[in-house]
Chain A
Amino acid sequence: MISNGPLAGLRVADFTIHAAGPFCTHVLSQLGAECIKIESRARPDAFRKPHAVYGRLTAATFDQVSANKRSIRLNLKKTEAVAIAKRIVALSDVAAESFRAGVMQRLGLDFEALSAVKPDLIMLSLSSCGQQGPDSHFAGYAPLFGAWGGLGYQSGYSDGPPIEMRHVMDHSTGYHAVVAIMAALLRRRATGSGQYIDLAAREVSSAMIGAALVQAAAGDTPQRPGNGSAQYAPHGVYRTQGDDQWLSLVIQNDAQWRELLDLLSLPADHRLREVEFSEVAGRLQQAAELDQALELLLQSRPADDWATRLQARGIPAYPSVNMQAIAENQHLQQRGSLTRVNELTGGERWAVGAPVRFSQTPAPGVYCTTPDLGEAEDYVYGELLGMSSETRQDLEAREVIY
């Protein structure tokens, strides 16, 4: 067990399922926290099952957000299992769950019950709409969080429908949950007090459109900008040489515009050299024509080549990369942003490591693959809880450990 990193020594009792909650505890584990994943054969987590609607017809052989975690089986529908869960929480700093509002209470594992066994417990309840409020019973997944919270509506082509948010919506929710947990831990250190955190994923979606909400509150009508900008032109994603190859590009000032013209080696009488494009106000006014002309010119080279040349002149540009390009990216490899991990079936693949470097307490990142169901029971039930083999066998026979 690797136990270094800034959060070394911290233990999380992890009841979370699906993506948002598990991402939160996964990030904590990447920073060194020990994370005990409490699951059961009766209700396996999503990655242990086929998900045909996503196009996955078998269980996953690797699940990023479960990596690093220690798995135990515990059938929370049994009273004895609830008592065991409380014993694990009593040995933990943080408890995290992502069931629908009210489920933990029905199980007898709400904050009141858990803080009775661990008075300074930090508990996170992460749900689609929060634990209170008229919509708190609503069921949802990432695209629905995006829809409710406004991020989906604000995203999309200006003249098109809203777009559906995918896993990044879950994972953004998870990031915010880690922020809240860390703040609660620092307060616990200062005061000795526990904390209950009620996080609503749809409110994370709203937090992502904070500026549009300010506009709306001030009486404006926020626009859906697509790839465009009211501040910079050119600003967008442009087709380059090759099939489905695109370059993201922003010209932030007139000096960069002149650099771009120079790089493009346009003849003196080219339309883009006309004075009306020389200042940002003119370029913004003619943004559509500008984009069209630029896209034609950019098709003479590959996106990678343009990005390197433009960056050399101080212009923000980057290809629109797919995951194959990410996996082969030298810069990310130099930073150690990607890690090779083992699959449950024995193969190897890339996973994403810690998104931060600490000078003195390096984060362990991803050091362990997706756990087999119940792989850590010797550690948790044996070492931590001190259960005998006979007791565990009996609990298994009665499907408490199941």
Chain B
Amino acid sequence: MSHSSPHRTAEDARPLAGFLVLERSRAPAAAYAGRLLATLGAEVILIEPRSGSVLRNAEPLIVGTNESALFAYLSAGKRSVALDLDDKQDRAQLRHWIERAQLVIDDTPLEERAPSPISEKAVAAVNPGAHFVSVLPFGAYGEQSSWRGEEINLIHASGEGYLLPNGYARALYPDRAPLRIYGPFAHYQAGCVAALSAMAALWSPCDEGQFVDVSVQDSALLCGAFALQRLGDGSLEHREGRSFRYGGVFETRTGFVQLLTLEDRQWHGLVTLLGNPGWSQDPALNDGITRSQRGDEINQQIRLWMSDQDADDIVARAQQLNVPLARYRTPFEVLSGEHEQSRGLFAPTQLQSGQMIPMLIAPYLFAETPLHTGCSVPALGSANVESTP
């Protein structure tokens, strides 16, 4: 275990303190895996080319500084080592890092990875205990394993893209192309799978490092597995018919809200919220199946009522009545949300421009060992000097 045991120090109680992870990434999946591990306390070293990772230029960019907001989010708290893998001295540096690492996460396309000094074979030769986590659009095996895939391809390759949008947006624009989810959503699911699989490999009773093959398509497909389940039910889902029978997205005077009542008691709460209008008093609507059959009629009434309401006001009243209703909040509203502030969702982080901003840490709180630490976005090669073996 000499090569793969973490070096825990007393100062850092975070769950993964002491683990060393090397990350060579060009797409958000591998980078998000590294981010998850870094926020959990692992030391994550970005192995970048001397010209810098392509993610440093990935959209969206911050106006004025042209710094990539995506790279900032994915890389804060990591360290950067910039290497020319054709250079002998740089390869010695790389070897130094590989010798000490428990995990290597890599998303280099197969044909480029194989001859490089960060292939699974090359890593195993230097450090047989390190686990090698391969994160590729379509995985490392199978007839399409060499296919290229960007986010918009992968969300559609998983089946979820075909199903978006449903509900109100679909009703407004029935002839438009299907949509992706904002940002690198499919990649983020694969990032989770890569991180959890890396930790599963560390947990496994295995003396030698494992090769772990993560596919973005597979990861997003499991995330959207319910649609395959529906196929087994005899229903081929389409964005047109996927809408809730009633409920969905509604526009109020002050913004959009989302309503979904699955239980009878929630329906009765909704009727109270609406002020017990005459149409809602039809005894037939006490039956959930009838309500679903008359969903269009119900939604028409709700839409009319909503159009004259204040979003925050009705959300507060609805939640008191146990009616699931939420406001569609902008990033600004999330950032300044009282709830988020009280839970300590954000930590001060220094961008490469020097600006300090609050940045989301992680969507979970560890009661015994809080994750919070201030950190910064690594400048290219900022860990090079200290990394000299």
Contact = CB atoms under 8 A, between A and B. Distances in A.
B258 A144 contact: yes
A90 interface: no
A213 B334 contact: yes
B221 A355 contact: yes
Interface stretch (B83-91, B92-100, B227-235, B274-282): B227-235
B289 A155 contact: no
B150 A250 contact: yes
Given A6-B200, A195-B367, A208-B185, A218 B69 contact: yes
Given A27-B196, A222-B331, A322-B236, A355 B147 contact: no
Given A62-B232, A211-B73, A206 B147 contact: no
B161 A147 contact: no
A60 B220 CA distance: 23
Contact of B149 (A165, A316, A323): A316
Contacts of A203: 340, 343, 345, 360, 363-364
Given A61-B233, A129-B339, A141 B147 contact: no
A317 interface: yes
Nearest to B292: A52
Nearest to A206: B334
A175 B363 contact: no
Interface stretch (B45-53, B237-245, B381-389): B237-245
A209 B331 contact: yes
A322 B162 contact: yes
Nearest to A220: B63
B322 interface: yes
A110 to B, nearest CB: 11
A103 B346 CA distance: 27
Instruction: Report the interface size class on chain A.
Output: 35 or more
A83 interface: no
A248 B288 CA distance: 39
Given A216-B332, A237-B156, A320-B156, 16 more contacts: A8-B205, A31-B200, A46-B262, A148-B329, A163-B164, A164-B258, A167-B227, A180-B366, A195-B367, A203-B363, A208-B181, A214-B73, A327-B228, A331-B144, A355-B219, A356-B193
B369 interface: yes
Nearest to B343: A133
A396 B139 CA distance: 49
Nearest to A316: B148
| Smallest CB-CB A-B distances: 10 pairs | A349-B232, A203-B363, A182-B199, A6-B204, A154-B182, A175-B192, A217-B357, A355-B218, A183-B15, A196-B367
7 contacts: A53-B292, A138-B319, A144-B258, A157-B173, A207-B188, A207-B360, A358-B210
A230 B230 CA distance: 36
A229 interface: yes
Nearest to B290: A52
A111 interface: yes
Given A54-B244, A147-B258, A215-B62, A196 B210 contact: no
Interface in A290-325: 311, 314-325
Given A147-B257, A237-B152, A326 B159 contact: yes
B183 interface: yes
A371 interface: no
A154 B230 contact: no
Contact of B288 (A53, A175, A311): A53
Nearest to B353: A218
Interface in B184-205: 185, 188-190, 192-197, 199-205
A332 interface: yes
A360 interface: yes
B313 interface: no
A103 to B, nearest CB: 13
A200 B61 CA distance: 28
Interface in A337-376: 337-338, 343, 349-361
A351 B228 contact: yes
A148 B210 contact: no
Contacts of B173: 157, 160
B165 interface: yes
Given A154-B331, A225-B182, A322-B236, A183 B199 contact: yes
A265 interface: no
A189 interface: yes
Contacts of A242: none
A224 interface: yes
A206 B215 CA distance: 24
A267 interface: no
B330 interface: yes
Contact of B182 (A168, A182, A208, A249): A208
Nearest to B133: A356
Contacts of A15: none
Interface in A156-197: 156-157, 160-168, 171-173, 175-180, 182-187, 189-191, 193-197
Given A316-B150, A356-B193, A206 B360 contact: yes
Interface string A16-56: 00010000000100010000000000000010001111111
A62 B233 CA distance: 8
Contacts of A7: 200, 203-204
B245 A361 contact: no
A163 B163 CA distance: 11
Given A53-B245, A207-B362, A197 B367 contact: yes
A147 B327 CA distance: 6
Given A230-B60, A360-B206, A183 B16 contact: yes
Nearest to A370: B229
Interface in A243-270: 244, 246, 248-250, 252
Residue of A56, A168, A325 with most chain B CB atoms under a 10 A cut-off: A168
A399 interface: no
B223 interface: yes
B177 A239 contact: yes
A258 B61 CA distance: 26
A157 B181 CA distance: 10
Nearest to A7: B200
Contacts of A165: 181
Contacts of A317: 153
